[in-house]
């Protein structure tokens, strides 16, 4: 026993040493869809969704669902997320621990069949085998390891149920079946353990202990909830029952069958209790049938839809399909024997079809089946029942868990997947361990151990080095290209990895290579189009999308188009529509494309979402509302749809209803960034202190997610202004400006705040920065001119500011009036007179302009009447250009206004200074700047209602729109759109140009300068293994989310 424990400790140590470097890896390939983009992992998502949706977060009833029902595995991901969010190391740590547990349980299981030494050798080989790197280092491989835990638990409890002589052992039998179900909830292969148990019952056990039998069946169900293969343990148990528990050989069954056919009798081995054995086998059969029936019901009695790129042989004709599938058996066996050329993706053209009997690869198929036949023959002729049972159990553990993924009975969504060999490798390692035992007995024990040591060492090094390939998307897909140049999906996914780093030219080369490798791959053409779009080569992008569209299968009369096209391929309509909608004259054309996509799939919610955006741009908001409401019929839990409805109601001026829908979006996704920001803005606009507290909490929540979001800092500053906390507001504004140097709203409001706080010299640099990036910012120019006159004493600079304003807006009264003041300051009274006359004509209702004009004209009359040629008179009439303001001559005023002249020298003292009662002299005090947000009577900065809009909505130049004195102080809508989508593979990202339904939409800023709605994302890496990442959304207010990004395909078949 001490030796057994020592061996177990060594196995655990080896597992940790081989896989500790996997903790440095990130989320790659299928991890993106299953972890980063799966909303079922988020705490705000109802726990029941884990049991209603597939492994990737897509409802099981949807056609685009992968139909991989593994809720227990998803639950463990959810626990990881609860503990440390999206930090990859924690997920990888759990995988390493699970692999260690499986290796230890496997060691214990082997000890039931082999000697201690042989079991130790088999367990060590299992622990270090390189074929397991995808299952252990890839986070989604947890479905394999977790299902294997319950797979082995079901088998171990089943063996306990067979050990009570003339007793069924119900407790262990029930536990075993429980674990079968649990394994199946982890991965579908878990159910195969029932077959293994049946074989064990007949050939080994023939004793029933019902307690353990029930436990075994419980674990069967549990394994199946981890992965579908978990159910195969029932077959393993059946084989164990026959060949181990009952100590029957294959030869015994053969002779029994012959005797029954000839009418003779044949005596089975002593100790056979058919009554107890049959009861246990009946439990295995009932459990298997019940679990398979439940599984079919959960799937809606439908198989998942896969494309021919995922599994080319599935659409091949006879005999190519059968020859190819059988050839794959030899390829999988070769990977177990010689795990050298490992690849993360074996779909598309990786394994060319075997199309005729003359193909030399048929020899490999013949060799693989011959090897299996030899092992069966050995078990058949073996005189020693225990040795025969070992071979039979090794074959059972190797073959039964492999059958669901073999394509031999039904097509699956891949050609070869290394991680599905995790369970079958158990049988392989049993056979190797048994072979090691035989060799050590017949040959030199030292030489045998030396050979085994070399094998284990080379496998360990290969495993350790292979882990490094899973560090990033780029490294894993490049490692695949070193092995396989015929898979377009690998080229696509390398392109996506480069694209995510902004290396578009390099990415385009890989996408073109993908097209050359697989010319009819829709996703590859979508990727080319998307990259052209990034490079602003819109004509080429449109051509690529049209090419992809032309590759879609054509509808046939009387045939459902929906059933003939992969759901992800419809994303080409969205990508093309997103591109042409950048041209405002082609919006109707884009709308037609969306309607075509909807006509092909009435539940295509992404098309509804994007069509709503187009309708808003066409000012058909009522129709947009109807489109979004229809989308809710198909996806009532999609927070983007509720967000977009909020945008529609904002467009319609229904703020309360808009806020209700934004809150509803947050109900389904409390971390929805656009809904958090815009609902905070609306709450702030209501002006109630208790609501401002909620707004602040939402903004701080956004800040915790992303401290670099300058608009969150800005709006926190606006909230501080509402609370009269100018110091805090200044701090938030400064942070916003630091994060974005050309942030219009933050620059102006910060300068305004500083100027009002009697720090105009501190405000000047921010104003200069503002007009540098935004030379058309009139309010900034007015405030800057005010500071130049009153504080810096630079009349030339002030004059340039006001003239710039008049170039932008020739009828701007504030700029014109302050330019007049500059002329007065310079003593150029004739220019000042014409300037004020022009201002008075533009604004005859402004009484102060008329009074100031009278002051200037009175002073001119006095100077003209002066007999001496004073310097003042020379300046007043020098350089006079009568055409500057249209040649207007000043009107002569009566001498009763002369009393107003003394105050002309100090026209612009401060843009905030109030005009003294009874004095008409300060020409510009009230109107020199009348800076927006200033109260000239109280000399204080007003709350945000008179400042800039807190929403900082973006105009076409990608900067916030300011709520100026036009009273447009309600939050503006902003669009969070998804740019071009990415073709990804496997639920993984994929190349077929679509995004799997399991991906949650992602928002990305549009580059077309048009505020748009938040579009649903199809910008996941397609199933070609491409990158799935969408860009961060812009924070403004209303506009719905749209699928602005081109869509790709993310998922491949069941694995």
Tens digit of each residue's pLDDT (9 = 90 or more) over 878-900: 555 555 555 443 332 222 322 22
Q: In the chain, what are the helix, strand and coil shares in percent, each to the nearest 5?
A: 60, 5, 35
pLDDT above 70 (res 914): no
Rounded mean pLDDT of 20-41? Answer: 92
Tell me, what's the pLDDT at 874?
Answer: 61
Cα–Cα dist 398/98, whole Å: 20
> 798 or 937: which carries more pLDDT confidence?
798
Lowest mean pLDDT among 411-415, 503-507, 988-992: 988-992
Lowest mean pLDDT among 361-375, 694-708, 861-875: 861-875
pLDDT attached to residue 997: 34
pLDDT at 1016 over 60: no
In this prediction, residue 816 has a pLDDT band, given cuts at 50, 70 and 90, of: very high
- Return the pLDDT at 564: 57
Residue 870 DSSP class: -
Q: Model confidence over 418-433: pLDDT tens digits? A: 888 999 999 999 999 9
Give per-residue pLDDT as tens, 944-961.
323 333 322 322 333 332
Domain extent listing, the chain? 1-27+86-479
Q: 3-class SS at 232?
A: strand
DSSP letter string, 296-343: HHHTTT-PPP--TTT-GGGGPPTTHHHHHHHHHHHHHHHHHH---S--
559 band by pLDDT with thresholds 50, 70 and 90? low
Q: Are 388 and 243 in contact (CB under 8 A)?
A: yes
Record the tokens describing residue 19, joined without a space.
Answer: 């896989």
- pLDDT number for residue 242: 74
Binning pLDDT at 50, 70 and 90, where does residue 161 land? confident
Indicate the pLDDT class of residue 993, thresholds 50, 70 and 90: very low
The SS3 call for residue 266 is coil
Give 770-801 pLDDT, tens digit per residue: 999 999 999 999 999 999 999 999 999 999 99
Q: Report the chain's mean pLDDT, rounded to a whole number.
A: 77
Structure tokens at 1: 């026993």
Least confident piece of the model among 156-160, 545-549, 652-656: 156-160
Q: Which residue, among 1007, 1003, 1012, 1030, has the nearest Cα to 957 in the 3D structure?
A: 1007
Ramachandran quadrant class, 1039 (left: phi over 0; alpha: psi -120 to 50; beta: rest): left
> Within 10 A of 512 (CB to CB), how many other CB atoms are there?
16
Predicted local distance difference test score (pLDDT) of residue 164: 56
Q: CA 233 to CA 189: how far, in whole Å?
A: 8
Token look-up 């868990």 returns 401
Q: Is the pLDDT of residue 91 over 90?
A: yes
What is the Cα–Cα distance from 125 to 1020, expressed in whole angstroms? 37
| DSSP string computed for 731-794 | HHHHHHHHH-TT-HHHHHHHHHHHHHTT-HHHHHHHHHHHHHH-TT-HHHHHHHHHHIIIII--
Residues 302-323: tens digit of each pLDDT: 666 666 777 777 777 888 888 9
Residue pair 682/653 in contact by the 8 Å Cβ criterion: no
Distances (CA, A) of 70 to 147, 183, 224, 848, 982: 9, 9, 7, 77, 26
* Per-residue pLDDT band at 366 (split at 50, 70, 90): very high
Tell me if the bond preceding 503 is cis, omega within 30° of 0: no
Question: Tens digits of per-residue pLDDT, 178-229?
Answer: 776 776 666 666 666 676 776 666 555 544 455 666 777 777 777 767 776 7
Residue 818 pLDDT: 93
Position 992 scores a pLDDT of: 34
CA distance 1006 to 1046: 12
Range name among 513-522, 721-730, 913-922 with the lowest pLDDT average: 913-922
Predicted confidence at residue 28, as pLDDT, reads: 93
Q: How confident is the model at residue 122 (pLDDT cuts 50, 70, 90)?
A: very high
User: Of 579 and 930, which is predicted with more confidence?
Assistant: 579
Sheet holding 168-169, edge to edge: 168-169, 208-234, 185-192
Separation between Cα atoms, residue 981 and residue 997, nearest integer Å: 14
Contacts of 559 (CB under 8 A, 6+ apart): none
Q: Residue 905 pLDDT more than 80?
A: no
Residue 442: the pLDDT is 83
- Which three-class secondary structure state does DSSP give residue 1044? coil
* pLDDT surpasses 90 at 920: no
The label of the residue with tokens 């293969």 reads 229
CA distance 611 to 311: 33
Q: How many CB atoms lie within 10 A of CB 877?
A: 15
Residue/partner pairs of 374-378 with CB below 8 Å, 24 or more apart = 375/431, 376/250
Where does the pLDDT of residue 249 fall: very low under 50, low under 70, confident under 90, or very high at 90 and above? low
CA angle centred on 774, ends 771 and 777, rounded to 5°: 75
Question: What are the tens digits of pLDDT across the range 961-970?
Answer: 232 323 333 3
- Inform me whether the pLDDT recorded for 588 exceeds 90: yes
Q: What is the mean pLDDT of residues 156-183?
A: 70
Instruction: Return the minimum-mean-pLDDT range out of 144-148, 360-364, 600-604, 660-664.
Output: 600-604
Smallest CA-to-CA distance from 295 within 219, 179, 220, 188 is with 188
Question: Where does the pLDDT of residue 389 fall: very low under 50, low under 70, confident under 90, or very high at 90 and above?
Answer: confident
Q: Which of 150-159, 777-786, 800-809 has the lowest mean pLDDT?
A: 150-159
- Select from 570, 578, 497, 498 the least CA-distant residue to 1048: 570
CB crowding 458-496: b at 16 or more within 10 Å, else e: ebbebbbebbbbbbbbbbbbebbbeebeebbbbbbbbbb
Inter-CA distances, 690 with 683, 684, 697, 930, 945, Å: 9, 10, 11, 32, 17
pLDDT at 1051 over 90: no
Q: What is the pLDDT of residues 420-479, one digit of tens each?
A: 899 999 999 999 999 998 888 888 788 888 999 999 999 999 999 999 999 999 999 999
- The rounded percent of the chain whose pLDDT value lies above 90 is 42
User: Is the pLDDT assigned to residue 1003 strictly greater than 60?
Assistant: no
Confidence of residue 1021 (pLDDT cuts 50, 70, 90): very low
Share of the chain above pLDDT 70, in %: 72
Q: What are phi and psi of 437, to 5 degrees?
A: -65, -45
Statement: residue 937 has pLDDT above 50: no
The torsion defined by the Cα of 832, 833, 836 and 840, in degrees rounded to 10, comes to 180
Q: Which of 979, 995, 971 is nearest to 1042 (CA)?
A: 979
Closest to 225 in 3D by CA, of 51, 60, 48 = 51
Name the residue with higher pLDDT: 37 or 225: 37
**pLDDT-based confidence at residue 711 (cuts at 50, 70, 90):** very high
Task: Give Cα 684 to chain centroid, integer Å.
Answer: 30
């Amino acid at each position: 026993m001490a030796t057994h424990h020592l061996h177990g400790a060594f196995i655990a140590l080896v597992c940790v040493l081989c896989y500790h470097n996997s903790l440095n890896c990130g989320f790659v390939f299928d991890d993106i869809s299953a972890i980063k983009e799966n909303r079922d992992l988020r705490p705000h998502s109802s726990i029941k969704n884990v049991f209603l949706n597939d492994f990737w977060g897509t409802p099981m009833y949807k056609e685009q669902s992968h139909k991989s029902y593994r809720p227990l595995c998803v639950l463990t991901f959810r626990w990881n997320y609860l503990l440390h969010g999206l930090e990859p190391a924690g997920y990888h740590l759990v995988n390493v621990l699970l692999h260690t547990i499986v290796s230890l349980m496997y060691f214990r299981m082997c000890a039931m069949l082999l000697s201690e030494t042989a079991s130790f050798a088999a367990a060590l080989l299992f622990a270090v085998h390189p074929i397991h790197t995808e299952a252990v280092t890839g986070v989604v491989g947890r479905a394999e390891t977790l299902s294997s835990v319950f797979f082995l638990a079901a088998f171990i409890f089943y063996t306990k149920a067979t050990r009570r002589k003339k007793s069924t052992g119900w407790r262990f039998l029930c536990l075993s079946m429980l674990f079968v179900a649990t394994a199946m909830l982890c991965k579908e292969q878990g159910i195969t353990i029932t077959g293994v148990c049946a074989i064990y019952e007949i050939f080994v056990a023939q004793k029933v202990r019902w307690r353990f039998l029930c436990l075994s069946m419980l674990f069967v169900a549990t394994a199946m909830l981890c992965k579908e293969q978990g159910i195969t343990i029932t077959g393993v148990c059946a084989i164990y029952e026959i060949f181990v528990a009952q100590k029957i050989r294959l030869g015994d069954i053969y002779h029994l069958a012959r005797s029954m056919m000839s009418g003779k009798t044949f005596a089975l081995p002593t100790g056979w209790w058919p009554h107890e054995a049959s009861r246990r086998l009946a439990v295995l059969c009932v459990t298997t049938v019940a679990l398979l029936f439940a599984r079919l019901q959960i799937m809606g009695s439908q198989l998942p839809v896969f494309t021919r790129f995922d599994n080319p042989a599935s659409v091949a004709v006879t005999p190519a399909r059968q020859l190819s599938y059988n050839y794959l058996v030899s390829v999988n066996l070769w990977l177990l024997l010689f795990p050298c050329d490992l690849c993360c993706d074996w779909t598309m053209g990786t394994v060319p079809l075997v199309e005729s009997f003359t193909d030399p690869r048929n020899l490999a198929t013949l060799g693989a089946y011959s090897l299996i036949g030899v092992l069966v023959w050995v078990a058949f002729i073996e005189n020693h029942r225990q040795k025969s049972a070992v071979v039979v159990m090794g074959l059972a553990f190797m073959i039964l868990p492999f059958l669901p993924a073999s394509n031999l009975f039904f097509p699956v969504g891949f050609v070869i997947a290394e991680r599905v060999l995790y369970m079958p490798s158990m049988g392989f390692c049993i056979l190797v361990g048994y072979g090691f035992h035989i060799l050590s007995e017949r040959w030199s024990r030292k030489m045998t151990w030396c050979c085994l040591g070399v094998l284990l060492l080379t496998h360990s090094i290969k495993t350790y080095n292979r882990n490094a390939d899973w560090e990033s998307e780029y490294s894993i897909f490049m490692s695949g290209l070193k092995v396989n140049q015929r898979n377009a999906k690998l080229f696509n996914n390398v392109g996506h990895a480069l694209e995510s780093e902004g290396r578009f030219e390099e990415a385009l080369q890989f996408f073109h290579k993908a097209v050359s490798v697989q010319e009819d791959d829709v996703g590859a053409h979508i990727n080319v189009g998307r990259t052209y779009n990034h490079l602003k080569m819109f004509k080429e992008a449109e051509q690529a999308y049209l090419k992809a569209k032309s590759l879609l299968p054509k509808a046939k009369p009387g045939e459902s188009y929906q059933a003939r096209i992969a759901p992800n391929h419809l994303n080409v309509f969205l990508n093309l529509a997103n591109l042409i909608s950048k041209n405002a004259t082609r919006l109707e054309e884009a709308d037609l494309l969306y309607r075509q996509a909807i006509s092909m799939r009435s539940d295509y919610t992404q098309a509804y979402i994007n069509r709503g955006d187009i309708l808003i741009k066409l000012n058909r908001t009522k129709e947009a509302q109807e489109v979004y409401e229809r989308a809710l019929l198909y996806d009532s839990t999609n927070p983007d749809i509720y967000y977009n409805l909020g945008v529609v109601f904002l467009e319609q001026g229904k703020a309360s209803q808009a806020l209700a829908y934004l809150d509803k979006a947050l109900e389904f996704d409390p971390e929805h960034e656009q809904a958090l920001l815009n609902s905070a803005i609306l709450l702030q606009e209501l002006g109630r202190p208790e609501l401002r507290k909620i707004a602040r909490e939402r903004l701080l929540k956004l800040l915790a997610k992303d401290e670099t979001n300058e608009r969150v800092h800005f709006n926190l500053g606006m909230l501080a202004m509402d609370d009269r906390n100018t110091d805090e507001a200044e701090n938030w504004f400064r942070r916003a400006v630091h994060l974005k140097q050309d942030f219009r709203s933050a620059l102006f409001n910060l300068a305004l705040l500083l100027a009002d706080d009697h720090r105009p010299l501190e405000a000047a640099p921010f104003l200069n920065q503002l007009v540098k990036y935004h030379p058309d910012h009139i309010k900034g120019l007015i405030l800057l001119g005010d500071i130049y006159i009153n504080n810096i004493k630079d009349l030339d600079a002030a004059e340039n500011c006001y003239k710039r304003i008049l170039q932008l807006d020739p009828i701007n009264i504030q700029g014109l009036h302050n330019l007049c003041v500059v002329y007065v300051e310079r003593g150029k009274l004739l220019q000042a007179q014409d300037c004020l006359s022009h201002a008075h004509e533009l604004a005859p209702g402004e009484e102060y302009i008329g009074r100031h004009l009278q002051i200037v004209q009175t002073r001119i009359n006095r100077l003209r009447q002066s007999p001496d040629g004073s310097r003042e008179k020379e300046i007043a009439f020098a350089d006079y250009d009568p055409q500057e303001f249209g040649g207007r001559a000043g009107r002569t005023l009566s001498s009763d206004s002369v009393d107003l002249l003394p105050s002309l020298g100090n026209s612009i003292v401060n843009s905030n200074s109030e005009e003294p009662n009874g004095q008409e002299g300060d020409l510009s005090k009230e109107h020199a700047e009348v800076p927006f947000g200033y109260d000239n009577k109280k000399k204080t900065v007003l709350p945000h209602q008179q400042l800039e809009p807190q929403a900082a909505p973006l105009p076409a130049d990608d900067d916030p729109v300011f709520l100026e004195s036009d009273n447009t102080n309600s939050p503006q809508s902003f669009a969070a759109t998804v740019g071009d989508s990415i073709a990804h593979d496997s639920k993984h990202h994929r190349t077929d140009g679509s995004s799997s339904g399991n991906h949650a939409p992602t928002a990305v800023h549009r580059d077309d300068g048009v505020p748009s709605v938040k579009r649903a994302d199809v910008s996941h890496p397609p199933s070609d293994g491409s990158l799935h990442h969408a860009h961060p959304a812009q924070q403004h207010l209303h506009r719905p989310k749209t699928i602005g990004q081109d869509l790709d395909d993310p998922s491949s078949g069941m694995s």
